[in-house]
Structure 1
Amino acid sequence: MVIYFVFLTISAATYALFSLGLNLQWGVTGLINFGHVAFMAIGAYSTVLLSMQGVPIPIAVLIGAGLSALLGLLIGISTLRLREDYLGIVTIGVSELVRLVAKNEAWLTKGTFGVQGYPVPFNFKPEYPARIGLIIWLTAICGLALWRLWLWMRVETSRLLGGAVAIAFVLTAYICGALSLYTYDPRAGLMLLTLTALTVVYIGLEKLVNSPWGRILKAIREDEEVPKALGKNVFWYKLQAFMLGGAIAGVSGAFYAWNGTVFPDNFEPLITFNAWIIVMLGGSGNNLGTIIGAIIFWGYNSITRDESFKAIFRAMHLDETQQGAFRVMIIGLVLMLIMVLRPQGILGKKEELTLGR
């Protein structure tokens, strides 16, 4: 059970990292991207293939992020002057192109067999003093998360439920992570690394979004004619946001690979739409809300896979395939209700809304 929750924490943190890139592109800048998974695929394949060739893992991750940003540059130069709906069509087409290249170019990506046997960080057993240091490191990250959640919940009472869920998740992740680090399981080290990356990216994005640069992006989202009238190069700012969001997704691709396997079919469009669900749940333009949205999403995903829920599904005479479809249908129904009753998201602010422009 402890190791399963460690796996769940890695998955939630990876999706939160992935969704933060989409939140920068759509929630902050207003760029519709239905092919966000392409950046994750580039980051995942680049990291594992380079590390298998002897490139140090940190450098491989940076190269993967750089290639993802380069893909964002190529897409952005050709599409960011288009209308939002055309941008969405192009991005989903590019994501499918990347997946099909990975599937068919076996000389580079191993094709449908996928990439296996690649190096994974923290895949060793440290001595006890080092394990205590890792637990202190985890304590600092979880303490920072709890403090930030507490400040966030005090601002608005509507955030209490989401904040309470996130606090419960953080405390459980800390207990399971500390136990796993003490006895040491490699997945616990990966969990610590994933949470560290998420913390660094979150702090960096918060500083950027609340800087003059971020305020220009928000102005572009609301009405790009206004920053144009003030002499701002709107296209250049859009391109920057698109590339940075792609680079963040590329980094998440490395963690996605380390937490599972790298097969072309792991990067289907559904992964992008999961990120959209997370951003909508958390609230458009809200970085902390995006992280909490990832926790809620993965909480629902894991709870509905529990044996008690499977018993309910079996009582409804649903087979395994129908159960998966039913779970997705429930998510769709919840999103429909959110769009009608609270279009800014469960935890978002109405002034951050981009859908109703």
Structure 2
Amino acid sequence: MLSYVIFTLTLCGIYALLALSLNLIWGGVGLVNLGLAGFFAVGAYASAIATGAGAPVLIGWAAALIVGAVVGLVVTFATLRLRDDYLAIVTLGFAEVIRLVALNERWLTKGSDGISGIKAPLKAELGLQGFSVFYLGLVTLIVLVVWALLRRIDLSPYGRAMKAIREDQQLAAFAGKTVLRFKLQAFALSAAIAALSGALYAHFQSYVSPDHFQPLITIYIFLAVTAGGVGRPSGAVFGAYLVVIFLEATRFATEWLPGLQPVQIAAMREMMIGVALILVLHLRPQGIMPERIPKAPRQPTPTA
């Protein structure tokens, strides 16, 4: 039971990084990225391939960050003229392209067989149980560092400029903000964080395959950010932990329904998740931890 709890909390941390990544781009500059699963896969495969070639794990994670940021820039440049629904469709297609490349380019990714035996840091020295506890602490520490960084950005003039672009990019451009530069930087940083989460996942599982990066991951992360509160890093982290714990809880809840086939149980779990999202949107449309928008400072009354 303890191993299961540790595994769940580690998965919570990895999903929290994905939620922070989405919150930065969606809650920051207002871009809808449905390609999170693609960036997640890019980071996982980049780190797995780098460490498989003999590089240390830290170099693999650095490679995931760099490759994720570069791919994010490429996607942004390819979608400069797209907004709203069109951007969402293109990023969704990008994620599927990445999955199909991982499935078919066996020389690089070993195809549907996946990459196994990925290095797990200090696993041999600590043992299985010790490694699980160590990795949980490591992932939690990384989540805290990324959260602190994004919160710092959110409260800074740079973050306020991003929020201005989110609300009205024409008005922000008229005020002298370089909208394109902000979008490129936000998308690159968001993609790098998503790729880092993929790298952490790969070295935790010691195995990755195309089946691990289905579009359903993106749906779960959107659910997490929506439930937690769009535009607030703390809400993204809270929502991710809430969603993962709820997903795991549904495994036990469906056991209370006798006579169902495994396929029907899986469908019931998805129905429960959908109902939970509807309830959250109905009861807390701004999320459990809504964004705090500070009031404009009161201007002093001119004296005669």
TM-score normalised by structure 1 residue count: 0.79
- Residue correspondence of structure 1 range 221-236 to structure 2 within 5 A: 221-236=166-181
- Residue correspondence of structure 1 range 284-303 to structure 2 within 5 A: 284-303=230-249
- Residue correspondence of structure 1 range 325-336 to structure 2 within 5 A: 325-336=267-278
Equivalent position of 2:298 in the other structure: none
Equivalent position of 2:297 in the other structure: none
Equivalent position of 1:257 in the other structure: 202
Give the partner amino acid of 1:102.
A
Give the partner amino acid of 1:185.
G
Equivalenced residues, count:
293
Equivalent position of 1:91 in the other structure: 91
Equivalent position of 2:302 in the other structure: none
Equivalent position of 2:157 in the other structure: 212
Classify 1:122/1:348 alpha carbon distance in 2 versus 1 (closer, same or farther; 3 Å): farther
Aligned equivalent of 1:313, options 239, 257, 261: 257
SS in 1 for 2:147: helix
Equivalent position of 2:52 in the other structure: 52
Distance in 1, Cα, partners of 2:268 & 2:165 = 38
Contact 1:43 1:252 in 2 (8 A): yes
Distance in 1, Cα, partners of 2:197 & 2:263 = 28
- Residue correspondence of structure 1 range 1-357 to structure 2 within 5 A: 1-125=1-125, 185-260=130-205, 261-306=207-252, 309-314=253-258, 317-349=259-291
Distance in 2, Cα, partners of 1:104 & 1:199 = 36
Cα distance, 1:107 vs structure 2: 0.4
Distance in 1, Cα, partners of 2:280 & 2:174 = 35
SS in 1 for 2:251: coil
Distance in 1, Cα, partners of 2:6 & 2:283 = 34
Contact 1:103 1:112 in 2 (8 A): yes
Distance in 2, Cα, partners of 1:212 & 1:78 = 28
Q: CA RMSD in A?
A: 1.7
Cα distance, 1:80 vs structure 2: 3.2
Distance in 1, Cα, partners of 2:4 & 2:163 = 39
Distance in 1, Cα, partners of 2:99 & 2:86 = 20
Contact 2:40 2:195 in 1 (8 A): yes
Distance in 2, Cα, partners of 1:57 & 1:218 = 36
Equivalent position of 1:161 in the other structure: none
Cα distance, 1:57 vs structure 2: 1.0
Q: Deviations over 1:67-117 (max 9, x none)?
A: 111111011012133121110000000100000000000000000000001
Cα distance, 1:351 vs structure 2: 5.1
Contact 1:80 1:239 in 2 (8 A): no
Cα distance, 1:125 vs structure 2: 2.9
Distance in 2, Cα, partners of 1:184 & 1:98 = 33
Q: Deviations over 1:239-268 (max 9, x none)?
A: 111110000001000111123220011111
Distance in 2, Cα, partners of 1:256 & 1:313 = 32
Distance in 2, Cα, partners of 1:285 & 1:338 = 16
SS in 1 for 2:39: helix
Contact 2:250 2:272 in 1 (8 A): no
- Unmatched segments (≥5 aa) in structure 2: 295-304
SS in 2 for 1:245: helix
Cα distance, 1:322 vs structure 2: 1.2
Cα distance, 1:335 vs structure 2: 1.6
Distance in 2, Cα, partners of 1:190 & 1:230 = 46
Distance in 1, Cα, partners of 2:267 & 2:29 = 33
Distance in 2, Cα, partners of 1:78 & 1:297 = 32
Structure 1 range deviating more: 91-100 or 81-90: 81-90
Contact 1:27 1:284 in 2 (8 A): yes
- Unmatched segments (≥5 aa) in structure 1: 127-180, 353-357
Contact 1:27 1:286 in 2 (8 A): yes
Distance in 2, Cα, partners of 1:241 & 1:100 = 26
